[in-house]
Amino acid sequence: MKKYFTHKPIVYISAAILFCFPLSKSVAQDKTETAKMNAFVNGLMKKMTVDEKIGQLNLVTGGMAITGSVTNNGIGDGVKKGSIGGIFGLYGTESVRKMQEAAVKGSRLHIPLIFGLDVIHGHRTIFPIPLGMSATWDLGIIEHAAHIAAKEATAEGLNWVFSPMVDIARDARWGRISEGSGEDPYLGGKVAAAMVRGYQGTSLKNADAVMACVKHFALYGAAEAGREYNTVDMSKVAMYNYYLPPYKAALDAGAGSFMSSFNVVDGVPATTNKWLLTDLLRKQWGFKGFVVSDYTSLNETVDHGMGNLQTVSALALKAGLDMDMVGEGFLKTLKTSLQQGKVTQADIDLACRRVLEAKYKLGLFDNPYKSLDPQKEKSEIMTDANRKSARVTAEHSFVLLKNANQILPLKKSGGSIALVGPLADNKRDMLGTWVIGGEWEKSVSVIEGIKHIVGDNVKINYAKGSNITDDTAFMKRLNFGPGMVSLDKQSPADMIEDAVKAAKKSDIIVAVVGESQSMSGESSSRSDISIPESQQLMLKALAKLGKPIVIVLFNGRPLTLTWENDNAAAILDVWAPGTEAGNAIAEVLFGNYNPSGKLTTTFPRSVGQIPLYYNHLNTGRPYSSGPTKFKSNYLDISNDPLYPFGYGLSYSSFSYSNLKLSKTKLKGNETLTATVTVTNNGPYTGEEVVQLYIGDPAASISRPVKELKDFKKVNLQIGEKMDVTFNITPKQLKFYNSELKYDWEPGEFIIQVGTNSADTKTARVQWVK
Ligand code: BGC
């Protein structure tokens, strides 16, 4: 088996070094720069009419990215009139230049526009969906992916991206769990900061920097029942401890803008929520940038019950919203509200100032055409280097969920493989959700990737085997864009028959199954999160043959996989890997890269267990084992997930031993070191994410059974032993108590180090103040 690795040995190099990415610096400007900016903006604002100021608060769509029923017409005229501050959903140097010229040459005060887009996991070269990207646990790789996205986006005239999406999600029914980093606030914060650094680089003035927009502020991922746009209701303690940290981490990394979310926060829609947008974001956290609404989220506060469009627009402005995306509530009502005394000139000025400051920070007043270079548009996009990074990132994002009898990696020569499933010879679904600039025609299918690696050395017997789904009503919902999911000409029974025939001729079955592109993402909530029935029927027919089945699983969310876990020999979770999907999958299947991804979201056994997350409270009647009445459990299923947070196998195997603490009694600001020995006992070199969790069993509020506090990704040669050390300080023990005071409380702490959240070595310490 080792021979698979002789072709291309795995050498672990931190991705930051691999890609030679420069260290980021904070965007906080020094005093002189701020003074210069203030003088400039003051001067400009003196010349502006009220209409022109309100115009800066108006963001319109250029039509390439529409997620609501409202769109904007007559953009060119609006730009010349000065009634538009920015455009999103329009890119390409020619189109952007045309609009920028209309603003700079055609409008009275020559104020440049800001150009935004949903660049979520890559712009043209598509990287894995964010949930997959987070499964790398490799911040260097993530930062670099964001940097490439910024380079490609700026090469097409963009200067603002609606990313990172940092909403914590504990509910796999919610389709947008795919766009974030899973359930953990600590990891979520680290990923958020890495993405901001990657987008914004060392200075927003750089030609290849884009301003990040942190979304969706706030708590959008906690929609009740996982139903899109639904109510959110949670305690402040939960908010501060589990949901808010990633937004704050993105802010601390220097993010220039925030997007308000669709949901209510403490009963008030985020977009009109003064506590959220002003008291918390600006006063408590010190945010200096601007806040844009989500797509018509301002108008939607009418349906939330906040009043008519004029009322909600005034409320939103006063709450701290600076820019209105698409809805034109500000444009149509603020002047009247000013005349009627419902908003003040100072309210309008403040929002206008923040938008102008963003443009200033981006250097758009110095050079409105700064990234409009048609040459770059050709040379920077989808380069070999970008594609290579996308492939490497995808390889690192895959999570090996099962590998019985070391069935993987597969042999590169000899024998035969039945390659089946609706996602095996498929380009469109490789990219995943939110890929405005991605061209699926340019993605690599799994069959192509496999052929690149094995050529004719392995016989590949291909059969599609099933439709994505046979359910035509479901299919209709998935087809919000043309031709996203279709029915094959063959009947489902004939397709299964073909797959069985291919399998009969083969030694092993590789089934490429799961969710298609539009099954996750915005407005893609599901009440049943299993693999669609059409594909399950195929898998069940194949399983009868008794041959080993390797499942290559596409998914934008955790799926319920109990049957698959019981019946497949191996499961490799590849999320939606992006442009280089097929190549990355083949590299891993055939052992050129040893999988190292770990789950950032818990996989339930059944949808009935949701919400299911590792950092839960203990309850007063915690369940331990066996069927027990009057404990916190179910009659019909265990409490345990199918795969816990932090879980992921390797082709090698790592053992943990000898957890040593530097002390067991500590005082005040001392540092505790926890060291564990990790040994690679398996036949391959590989990477392992060593995870540190801490539990706080007695405090003034009930605390989670454990919380991730640190992690290290290490590379171990065959047989190598490594001592991995974590330094722990009281900072890591802090939490928000019921008065929302952020501090740590003395007492006992349970230090846990391990390979996933459910498999750790444990030691206890006493820590006094
Ligand atoms: C989504 C945002 C997105 C915006 C603009 C909305 O529907 O919620 O995430 O940035 O559209 O496309």
> Which CATH number characterizes residue 693's domain?
2.60.40.10
Q: Tell me which residue has its CA closest to atom 7 in ligand 1.
A: 67
**Domain residue limits at 745:** 654-768
Of the pLDDT bands very low, low, confident and very high (cuts 50, 70, 90), residue 649 is very high
User: Does an H or E element contain 748, and which?
Assistant: strand 747-756
Least confident segment among 68-72, 505-509, 605-609, 656-660? 68-72
Dihedral sign for Cα 189, 191, 195, 201, please. positive
Q: For residue 167, report the distance from its CA to the centre of ligand 1, in Å.
A: 13
Same domain, 389 and 373: no
Choose the residue to mutate in 88, 118, 262 for probing ligand 1, maximizing ligand atoms within 8 Å of C-beta. Answer: 118
Domain end residue (candidates: 600, 622, 642): 600
Tell me what pLDDT residue 22 has.
Answer: 41
Report the pLDDT value the prediction gives residue 483, as an integer from 0 to 100: 82
- pLDDT, residue 72, reads 67
Both 589 and 704 in one domain: the answer is no
Which atom, in ligand 1's list, is nearest to the CA of 66? Answer: 12
The pLDDT-based confidence of 5 (bands split at 50, 70, 90) is very low
The pLDDT of 487-493, averaged and rounded, is: 97
Is 496 within the bounds of a domain? yes
Enumerate residues 6+ apart whose C-beta is below 8 A from 392: 15, 18, 141, 584
The two tokens of residue 510 are 């590789």
Mark whether 357 and 402 lie in a shared domain. no
Above pLDDT 70, what percent of the chain? Answer: 95
30 lies in some domain:
no
In a domain, 201, yes or no: yes
pLDDT of residue 260: 98
**What pLDDT is attached to residue 603?**
98
- 423 and 286 share a domain? no
Could you give phi then psi for residue 538, rounded to 5 degrees?
-65, -45
Evaluate the CA torsion angle 247, 248, 252, 257 in order and state its sign.
positive
Is 458 within 8 Å of 599 (Cβ atoms)? no
Based on the fold, state whether residues 563 and 676 are members of the same structural domain: no
Same domain for 367 and 278: yes
Q: Which atom of ligand 1 is nearest to the CA of 215?
A: 9
Pocket test for ligand 1, best of 67, 293, 436 (most atoms within 8 A of CB): 67
Instruction: Judge whether 295 lies within some domain.
Output: yes
Residue 80: inside a domain: no
> How would DSSP label each residue in 199-263?
HH-S-TTSTT--EEEEEEETTGGG-GGG-TT------HHHIIIIISHHHHHHHHTT--EEEE-SS
pLDDT recorded at residue 3: 32
pLDDT surpasses 80 at 241: yes
Distance 554 CA to ligand 1 centre (A): 23
Residues 499 and 402 grouped into a single domain: yes
Residue 387 has pLDDT above 70, yes or no: yes
- Pocket-testing residue among 162, 257, 296, 298, ligand 1, by greatest number of atoms within 8 A of Cβ: 162
User: What percentage of residues in the chain have a pLDDT greater than 90?
Assistant: 91
Please state the rounded mean pLDDT for residues 549-570. 98
Q: Which residues line ligand 1 (CB under 6 A)?
A: 65, 67, 118, 162, 215, 294-295, 522
- At 533 the three-state DSSP class reads helix
Sheet architecture: strand order including 672-680: 654-661, 672-680, 721-728
How many whole angstroms from 295 Cα to the centroid of ligand 1?
Answer: 6
Residues with Cβ within 8 Å of 221's Cβ and at least 6 positions away in sequence, in order, are 167, 168, 169, 170, 171, 174, 176, 177, 180, 243
Task: Give me the mean pLDDT over the 129-150 stretch.
Answer: 98
Task: State whether 372 and 465 are in the same domain.
Answer: no
Specify the pLDDT at position 68. 56
| Residue nearest to ligand 1 atom 4, measured at CA | 295
Q: Which of 346, 377, 408 is the last residue of a domain?
A: 377
- In CATH, what number is assigned to the domain containing residue 500? 3.40.50.1700
In ligand 1, which atom is closest to the CA atom of 436? 12
In a domain, 460, yes or no: yes
- Asked whether the predicted pLDDT for residue 67 surpasses 80, the reply is no
Residue 554 has pLDDT above 50, yes or no: yes
Catalytic residues: 294
Environment class of 308 (CB within 10 Å of its CB; exposed 0-12, middle 13-18, buried 19+): exposed
**Looking at residue 625, what is its pLDDT?**
76
Whether residue 430 sits in one domain with residue 544: yes
Q: Check residue 2 and give its pLDDT.
A: 33
Q: What is the pLDDT of residue 26?
A: 53
Positive/negative CA dihedral, 264, 267, 268, 274? negative
For residue 262, the ligand 1 atom closest to its alpha carbon is: 8
Q: What residue owns the CA closest to ligand 1's atom 8?
A: 294
pLDDT band at 96 (very low <50, low <70, confident <90, very high): very high
The CA distance from 260 to 162, in Å, is: 11
CA distances, 694 to each of 203, 271, 439, 704, 751 (Å): 36, 36, 44, 9, 5
Q: In terms of domains, do 130 and 277 share one?
A: yes
Give me the pLDDT at residue 334, please.
98
Average pLDDT in the chain: 94
Ligand 1 pocket test, pick from 64, 123, 178, 522 with the greatest ligand atom count within 8 Å of Cβ, gives: 522
pTM value is 0.95
Of 599, 541, 544, nearest to 571 by C-alpha is 599
Write the CA distances from 163 to 167, 198, 499, integer angstroms: 11, 11, 41
Q: Worst-scoring range by mean pLDDT, 57-66, 195-204, 344-353, 568-577?
A: 57-66
Residue 14: band (very low, low, confident or very high) from pLDDT cuts 50, 70, 90: very low
1, pLDDT greater than 50? no
What does the radius of gyration of the chain's CA atoms come to, in whole angstroms? Answer: 26
The pLDDT confidence band at residue 92, using thresholds 50, 70 and 90, is: very high
Kindly state the tokens that stand for 1: 């088996």
pLDDT of residue 414: 96
Output the pLDDT for position 480.
Answer: 86
- Cα–Cα distance measured from residue 276 to residue 215, given in angstroms and rounded to the nearest whole number: 13
Ligand 1 centroid – CA 274 distance (Å) = 21
How many whole angstroms from 64 Cα to the centroid of ligand 1? 12
Residue 649 within a domain: no
Mean predicted confidence (pLDDT) in 316-325 = 98
Tell me how far the alpha carbon of residue 262 lies from the centroid of ligand 1, in angstroms.
10
Residues 401, 286 within the same domain: no
Q: Which of 357, 377, 397 is the last residue of a domain?
A: 377
Question: Do 398 and 362 fall into the same domain?
Answer: no
Of the pLDDT bands very low, low, confident and very high (cuts 50, 70, 90), residue 481 is: confident
Q: Domain count of the chain? A: 3
Phi, psi values for residue 758, rounded to 5°: -105, 0
In a domain, 21, yes or no: no
Q: Measured from the CA of 213, which atom of ligand 1 is nearest?
A: 10
Question: Residue 587 above 60 pLDDT?
Answer: yes
CATH number, domain containing residue 154: 3.20.20.300
> How confident is the model at residue 23, as a pLDDT?
40
Read off the tokens for 75.
């953009």
Answer for the pair 355, 323: CB distance below 8 angstroms, yes or no. yes
